Structure 1
Amino acid sequence: MSEKYLIGVDGSEPSRVALAWGLARATERGASVELIHVADDSFLSESVAFLSEAQLASEQMLQVETAYARELGFAGTITGTAVVGHPIAEIETASKRADLVVLGAHQGGRFSGSFFGTRAVKVAATAHCPVAVIPQVEARPNAPVVVGVDGSEASKRAIAFAAEQASLREVPLVAVYAWMPPLTPGLEYLWSEELVESQRAAAEEAIAIGVAGIAHRYPDLEVRREIVQSSPVAALVQAAEHAELLVVGSRGRGGISRLLLGSVSHGVLQALPCPVVVTRG
């Protein structure tokens, strides 16, 4: 069964950067594409006339962006959804029928705080499939794929996703494990040699378990292991400064907790050193 990519569109430049990224990946994977435009009804009048106008505007936006997708040369299947409603709820529902959600990253300007701006963090927290947030950065062909490792089930899913992407693009996979001794910064002189060694041993074990099986599944994939003494967000952002893609896992526990994105995922989405994919539990 063919994969489906759900790509958010709003006609802005950041949105079109994400659209081009998503279409390129869909072409590589032979995936179909569904474009979605959500007219936020948070500040709209509840009158039938206003809602009707909003729906019409949403449909017109979808038509324009569909035509633009064809102008970019995408020859695969494209469908579209134009709705008026709460953006987070609408994209969560739509994500149930997708294998990947692709969003642009708006920072500042008149789109600040819009569906595809800071709300992308909330989308990543609530979606039922991986979410890719694409910043406006220069393309880095042949650059590695970076993935965060911490020994959790969430990171194992992230590693599996990242390994597949790296193998497909024939680039190295960089698995990063970051650790910090549980002491107040500035009191490093209190660290014992035994404490540091135990932390390093735990890191090496976690990263070994995390990448176990990758060599068998992807025998030609180059896997680099990096154990960094730093905060996870800082380590991943630095490692991804020259990467093509950064993948992080987010624990999905259900209920109200699934509305909260982990601190690491949230941190890298705020920095966006390159396209970031957040995988879900």
Structure 2
Amino acid sequence: MAEKYLIGVDGSEHSRVALAWGLARAAERNADVELLHVADDSFLSESVAFLSEAQQASQQMLDSETAYAKTLGFTGNITGTAVVGHPIAELEAASKRVDLLILGAHSGSRFAGSFFGTRAVKAAATAHCPVAVIPKHEVSPGAGIAVGIDGSEASKVAIAYAAEAASMRGVPLIAVYAWMAPLTPGLEYLWSEELVEAQRSAAEEAIAIGVAGLAERYPDLTIERRIVQSPPVAALVQVGEEVETLVVGSRGRGGISRLLLGSVSHGVLQALPCPVIVTRATA
């Protein structure tokens, strides 16, 4: 069964960058594509007339973006959905039926229903599938796919996703492990060179475990290991400026805490140095 990608569209330049990115990836993997436009009903009257007009406007936007998508040369299957509702709730519901959700990231927009700012972060936190958030600026294709490793179950899911994607695209996988010596005021003197070296050794072991088995599964995959003494967000953002895609894991959560991404994935999405894909561990 073919994979299916869901791309949020709103007619903005940021959205169209994400649309082009998503269509290119879908073409590589022979995936089907569904476009989704959500007319945000947060500030709309609940009268039937207003909601009917909003639905018509949403459909018009979807039709326009579907026509635009076809000009980009994508020859696969494209369907579309136009709805009136809360963008995050609609995205969460739609994410149950797809393999990847793709959104553009906005610093602000005049378009109603745009997936900008914290909406992309919230969508990544609530979605039931991996979420790709695409910045407006261009990146270098073929520069590799980076993934953050920390030994958690969430990072294992991210590693598996990144390795498969890197192998599929024929680009290097860059596995990044960031660590910092504890900075406890007044106790800095307890950190000797021996303890720092022990910390480095632990980091090397963790990254070795993280990438174990990948060489056998993907014999043609080049794996670069990077151990960085730096805060995780800073380390991943720096690497993200060099690669075509960055993959980070987010722990699965239930209830209202689903709205909260981990500090690392949240920080990386706020900086968004390149297309970032957030994967989710099983709750």
Compute the TM-score of the two structures, normalised by the length of structure 2: 0.95
CA RMSD of aligned residues (A): 1.6
Mapped to 2, the partners of 1:66 and 1:223 lie a distance apart of: 38
Deviation, 1:111, is 5.2
Q: Is the contact between residue 4 and residue 98 of structure 1 (CA under 8 Å) also seen in structure 2?
A: yes
Are residue 115 (structure 1) and residue 97 (structure 2) matched? no
1:201 Cα deviation after fit: 1.9
Cα 1:186–1:122 change in 2 (3 A) is farther
Which amino acid in 1 is paired with 2:207?
A: I
Question: Structure 1 residues 172 and 89, CA, compared in 2 at 3 Å: closer, same or farther?
Answer: same
Cα displacement (A) at 1:253: 2.2
Match of 2:238 in 1: 238
1:126 aligns with 2:144: no
Q: Where does residue 87 of structure 1 map in the other structure? A: 87
Aligned residue in 1 for 2:146: 146
CA contact (8 A) 1:149 1:156 kept: yes
- Which stretch of structure 1 is more off in the superposition, 210-219 or 178-187? 178-187
Is 1:111–1:117's contact at 8 Å kept on the other side of the alignment?
Answer: no
- Displacement, 1:190? 4.2
Q: Which runs of 5+ in 1 are unaligned?
A: none
Q: Structure 1 counterpart of 2:144, which letter?
A: P
Moved more, 133-142 or 192-201: 192-201
Given the alignment of the two structures, is residue 99 of structure 1 paired with residue 99 of structure 2, yes or no? yes
Q: What fraction of aligned residue pairs are identical, expressed as a percent? A: 80
1:142, distance to aligned residue in structure 2 (A):
1.5
| Higher mean C-alpha displacement, 89-98 vs 198-207 | 198-207
Mean Cα displacement is larger for which, 225-234 or 135-144? 135-144
Counting matched residue pairs gives: 281
Contact 2:22-2:102 within 8 A present in 1 as well: yes
Deviations 1:75-118 (A, max 9, x none): 11111110001111100000000100000011134359943332
Name the amino acid aligned to 1:115.
F
Corresponding residue number in structure 2 for 1:47: 47
Aligned partner of 1:6 in structure 2 is 6
Matched, 1:197 2:197: yes
CA contact (8 A) 1:177 1:226 kept: yes
Q: Which runs of 5+ in 2 are unaligned?
A: none
- The 2-side partners of 1:176 and 1:62 are apart by 39
Moved more, 193-202 or 229-238: 193-202
Q: Which amino acid aligns with 1:133?
A: V
The equivalent of 2:22 in structure 1 is 22
Which residue of the partner structure matches residue 249 of structure 1? 249
Opposite residue 134 of structure 2, the aligned amino acid is I
Secondary structure of the 1:261 match is coil
> Deviation string for 1:164-185 (max 9, x for gaps)?
1111111111100000111248
TM-superposed deviation, 1:139 = 3.4
| Match in the other structure for 2:280 | 280
Residues 111 and 66 (structure 1), Cα distance of their counterparts in 2 relative to 1, 3 Å cut:
closer
Shift of the 59–109 alpha-carbon distance from structure 1 to 2, 3 Å rule, reads: closer
Partner of 1:261: 261
Give yes or no for contact 1:27–1:76 (8 Å, CA) kept in 2: yes
**CA pair 111-272 structure 1, distance change in 2 beyond 3 A:** farther
Return closer, same or farther for 1:50/1:139 CA change in 2, 3 Å cut-off.
Answer: same
Please, what TM-score do these two structures have when normalized by structure 1?
Answer: 0.96
